[in-house]
Amino acid sequence: MTRMESELSSWLSGTWLSDGPAVAVLAGFSGLGKSDIAYEVAERSNRPWAFENLISDNLTLDEITLNVAESLEACGSNTMADLLGGDFVASFVKSLEEPILIVLDDFHELLDEQGLPPREFRTLIHRLCTARPAPAGRLLLVTNRAVTQESWLDQAHVRRVEPPAEDHAVSLLASLLAQQDLEDEVPSERRGDVVRWLGRNPRAIQALVACLSNDSLDDLIELDRDSWGVRDEVVGPELVRHLEERFLDRTLQRISPEALALVESLSVYRKTFTKEAIQGAGAGLAGSADVEDARRELSSRFLLERRRNWFTLNPIARELARARILMDERKLRRSHARAAEYYSRHFRARNSASKMDKASEFVEARFHLLRLGQREEFDEIARGFRAQLLLVYRNIESLPKDVSAQRELLATLWAALEGEEGGSWSLRFCFARLLLARDEQDDALVAYRQITIASRESNHHDVWILRCRLAVRFEEPAITRTIIAQARERLSAGVLLQVVRVTAVALTQMGHPADALRLLEDVQQHCHQTGDAWLLYHTASVILCSQDRHKDAIAFLLKGYETLGPQRERSGRLVEESAFLAFAARDAALLGQIQQVVVGSQGRHGWVSLCEVLKLQTERKFQESADLAAGFPEYLALKAQRAFSLLCLGRASEAKSVLTGSIPVRNLETGLGWLRAVACVAAGDAPGGDETSPESAWLAEFAAAHEMAPEEVTAESLLRHWDTFAELFGGRVSFYFPWLPRELTGLDQDLIRLSSTTSALDGVDLSRLRFRNEDKPRPPAVGAVPAVAGAPFGGVPPQPGWPTIFVTTQGGPAVLPNGGTLDMGGNYNVNQAGAVGDGAQATGNTFNQVVAGKTEDLQQLSAELQRLTDQLRRQGEAGQHAQELGELEGAAAAAASGDVSGVRAHLRRSGQWALGAATSVGTALAAAWIRESVGM
């Protein structure tokens, strides 16, 4: 061991274990001895420890947990075994409250292309690093890749293992040559050159020495003469690995047939193995003596490494041997069969009270048996392990992404649940989802039976949603309504609303819109007080529109608005949707009726003005509509209609200036992203021009969102995108811009696209399609204030001779200095149509309304989010909502570090459940940030 390695080992064994942070990362190039250092630290730790080697093949979190729990239980620590089946993060955190050590070797196998581990590991590491008091246990991660420094790793201690000094590397080379009696193969005067060529990497030096038994040094140099020529320069890990692969491949070609057969057979093992496993893998050789001779040969060639009583293949040799055996199906199956026999034998005479006894053997037996398609043999083993399986998987939530891992888990749960009449609702929920993912014959029907059993014990919204979706598929609508009646007795109003909406969608898609509408009406009164009650009316209107009943849809939306009242959150969305539907019908009278409803209920001035703007557009009064919309610069729906009117007037540059600034992602995904692209094309902005310009960014964003190249964003492609009708309940551009007048397109006719019609472009000659662009300067309209980019007060400068008072407010009535009043109203957010702001009214003054952007204290937000997650965990939410809790914790960490974009990204992924939780717990600031981040 070098001096550096000795110092690092001493630091880990001493300072880190006693006083260091809970998490340490040991990083460095492959082949530098990191695993040996970590194993020595574990052995010297005088505490229960687990050393888990993550040797690829998509080890899942439950498999890692099982293996670690078994190792810890064998050392006398039962905490993780007792917590199996709970939340993955919680089980690790709770276990590490005790003075234990967990080493995860080859942690890089879990990292993605960006250097990030799975979300659960990021959450785990962040919680361990921020826990107060600090946990007594320690987690050591060993990796040969650079780990991304983000908030989840900020407080962990990262130590790098560097290649040994040149003199030490030369000494290692000399020692290995002496051991192999090959000292004459590399003269002493060339050894410095050799170790520099190999980046002073110990494992690469071993690989070279192994080759020298059959090849001269000069022969090996000829394998890569170019790299030898730059040996005195800094040698990177990729080059060293390339050389090591060349050496090891050459060695595999030169070893005996028996040794080659053994290394190929062992290459299917995913974890370290014993000498007994080697004997089993070599069962095809003539006798045990031949197996032992082959084992010694592999060890002498540095292909087989030993640590105490455990063996593992050189990782690069394993990859090479694995690649060879994958080309021979018979050899591959034979190797899996020998490995399956080795692990399965433990379960034929099993008699142990230990929860985790042979858990890792079960994991490996499952892997090999299912690779062989031996389902019956696996089921027999699983039945004997049923108690542990029910324990381990009782609260499983997320499905593996890898298809093979999904099939393994499916087989496991099938065996665990077979013959069980009740219980284990979370397992049945997971089982049903796995069946639907596989989607073979009768899988959906079996899934329906399993989810029906699960719903008897669970009120989880996802369980009931899946049950209702499958009921619509397999039952008559009357049965589905009966199930909803059961849900009404069992579920909270908020959860019931979610279930009913999904069920109504499914019924409509199956051709039962009348039953879907009846279902929505059945629960309206029950769900009236929920924050999302407006969604019932929205969903009903979409169903009615799909039946070409637009006037009925408008009436339903207005009924919902009047029922909920203008002060209810999101009720304004119902007004907006009714206005756009009336506009699509080109019905100015209907727009006037909507205005009367809003005025009669003392609704928002912006909604009244939206109807007026749309009426003006129906009359082709685009200048007047643009001027009226300009009075509401903070209201995205009117901002969009102003830009649209300007485009119809041929003033693309002005339209672009209106659309400049921050716009929520959801609005960009529906109408405003398309409108920006239209403005750019109309103005003649070339994609890929000035890459720093907003126009280039807009075109690139639109192109990326719709899987096209920026240069493919043309007038015709934008028109066809507008004409595309999305899924029944998806957002679409033509909902907000259902009418494209000839003034905009340059065509001979107007275009109208409704949800109940087919393509608006059938039979239309697009050869004259040109988005209009005149961009001629114009005098401001009477009473209008032209916006000036970069001017103060939101771009509206004071005009000469105006007695102007500028008022900045966060909402609510404001009193002007000379006695006048200003009714600012409140701030409202709507989905897809944008942020709804009120128009200002004043008496005795002339003023411009400016609504200031609200700036929050990120430290206060971090504290609230932490309080929220702590409260939710005390309420037992960790099992059902681990993913959302992890996102909330990630947001808290990002807020603490001042990372605003990170906060919004985490909160956006935390979703609607997190918003409801924040509201119920009383963390108002957190709720406000979540609402904004998810675009509500």
pLDDT value of residue 329? 93
Nearest to 931 by CA among 562, 532, 661: 532
**In this predicted model, what pLDDT tens digit does every residue of 63-93 receive, in sequence order?**
788 888 888 888 888 888 877 766 678 888 8
Residue showing tokens 């053994």:
262
**In this predicted model, what pLDDT tens digit does every residue of 520-565 receive, in sequence order?**
988 888 888 888 888 899 999 989 988 888 899 999 999 989 888 8
Average pLDDT for 667-676: 77
Average pLDDT for 707-714: 87
Average pLDDT for 702-723: 88
Please determine, for residue 797, whether its predicted confidence score (pLDDT) is greater than 70.
no
Pair 595, 614: CB distance under 8 Å:
no
CA distance 786 to 110: 56
Q: Look up residue 907 and give its two tokens.
A: 């909160």
Q: Three-state DSSP class for 78? A: coil
Q: Which long-range contacts (CB under 8 A, 24 or more apart) does 317-323 make?
A: 317/248, 317/251, 317/252, 317/263, 318/55, 318/266, 318/267, 320/245, 320/248, 320/249, 320/252, 321/252, 321/263, 321/264, 321/266, 321/267, 322/267, 322/268
Res. 232 pLDDT band, cuts 50 70 90: confident
**In this predicted model, what pLDDT tens digit does every residue of 718-760 receive, in sequence order?**
999 998 865 444 457 888 888 899 999 999 899 988 766 678 8
Cα distances from 806 to residues 803, 850, 854, in angstroms, run 10, 7, 18
For residues 109-121, b (16+ Cβ closer than 10 Å) or e, as one string?
bbbeeeebbbbbb
Res. 803 pLDDT band, cuts 50 70 90: very low
Pair 930, 914: CB distance under 8 Å:
yes
Burial class (CB in 10 A: 0-12, 13-18, 19+), 352: exposed
Q: Which of 152-161, 527-536, 793-802 has the highest mean pLDDT?
A: 527-536
**In this predicted model, what pLDDT tens digit does every residue of 378-431 receive, in sequence order?**
888 887 777 777 777 766 767 777 787 788 888 888 877 876 666 678 888 988
pLDDT value of residue 395? 66
pLDDT value of residue 411? 84
Please determine, for residue 849, whether its predicted confidence score (pLDDT) is greater than 60.
no
- As a whole-number percent, the residues of the chain with pLDDT over 70 amount to 83
Average pLDDT for 151-161: 78
Res. 838 pLDDT band, cuts 50 70 90: very low
Please determine, for residue 830, whether its predicted confidence score (pLDDT) is greater than 60.
no
Please determine, for residue 57, whether its predicted confidence score (pLDDT) is greater than 60.
no
Please determine, for residue 569, whether its predicted confidence score (pLDDT) is greater than 80.
no
Least confident of 51-55, 260-264, 300-304: 51-55
The DSSP 8-state label assigned to residue 98 in this structure reads S
CA distance 377 to 363: 14
Average pLDDT for 627-634: 88
pLDDT value of residue 789? 37
Residue showing tokens 């400016």:
850
pLDDT value of residue 265? 94
pLDDT value of residue 740? 93
The DSSP 8-state label assigned to residue 669 in this structure reads I
CA distance 127 to 729: 39
pLDDT value of residue 518? 93
Average pLDDT for 296-307: 91
pLDDT value of residue 817? 37
Please determine, for residue 777, whether its predicted confidence score (pLDDT) is greater than 70.
no
**In this predicted model, what pLDDT tens digit does every residue of 870-905 receive, in sequence order?**
777 766 665 667 778 878 888 887 787 777 877 887
Q: How far is CA 271 from the centre of its chain?
A: 29
Pair 851, 833: CB distance under 8 Å:
no
pLDDT value of residue 832? 33
Are β-strands 739-740 and 751-752 bridged in parallel, bridged antiparallel, or unpaired? antiparallel
Please determine, for residue 622, whether its predicted confidence score (pLDDT) is greater than 90.
yes
Degrees to nearest 5, angle at CA 328 with 327 and 333: 120
pLDDT value of residue 665? 58
pLDDT value of residue 546? 83
Which residues is 312 bridged to in the sheet? 305
Res. 867 pLDDT band, cuts 50 70 90: confident
Please determine, for residue 707, whether its predicted confidence score (pLDDT) is greater than 50.
yes
Least confident of 281-295, 747-761, 771-785, 791-805: 791-805
CA distance 308 to 285: 25
pLDDT value of residue 349? 56
Average pLDDT for 760-776: 83
pLDDT value of residue 725? 65
pLDDT value of residue 825? 39
Are β-strands 846-851 and 828-830 bridged in parallel, bridged antiparallel, or unpaired? unpaired
Average pLDDT for 279-307: 85
Q: How many CB atoms lie within 10 A of CB 74?
A: 13
CA distance 674 to 867: 40
**In this predicted model, what pLDDT tens digit does every residue of 490-501 receive, in sequence order?**
999 989 999 999
Please determine, for residue 302, whether its predicted confidence score (pLDDT) is greater than 80.
yes
Q: Look up residue 628 and give its two tokens.
A: 């009226």
How high is the mean pLDDT of the chain? 81
Least confident of 139-143, 469-473, 803-807, 855-859: 803-807
Q: Which of 46-60, 145-159, 485-499 has the highest mean pLDDT?
A: 485-499
479 phi and psi angles, rounded to 5 deg: -65, -40
Please determine, for residue 230, whether its predicted confidence score (pLDDT) is greater than 80.
yes
Degrees to nearest 5, angle at CA 501 with 499 and 502: 70
* Length of the chain measured in residues: 936
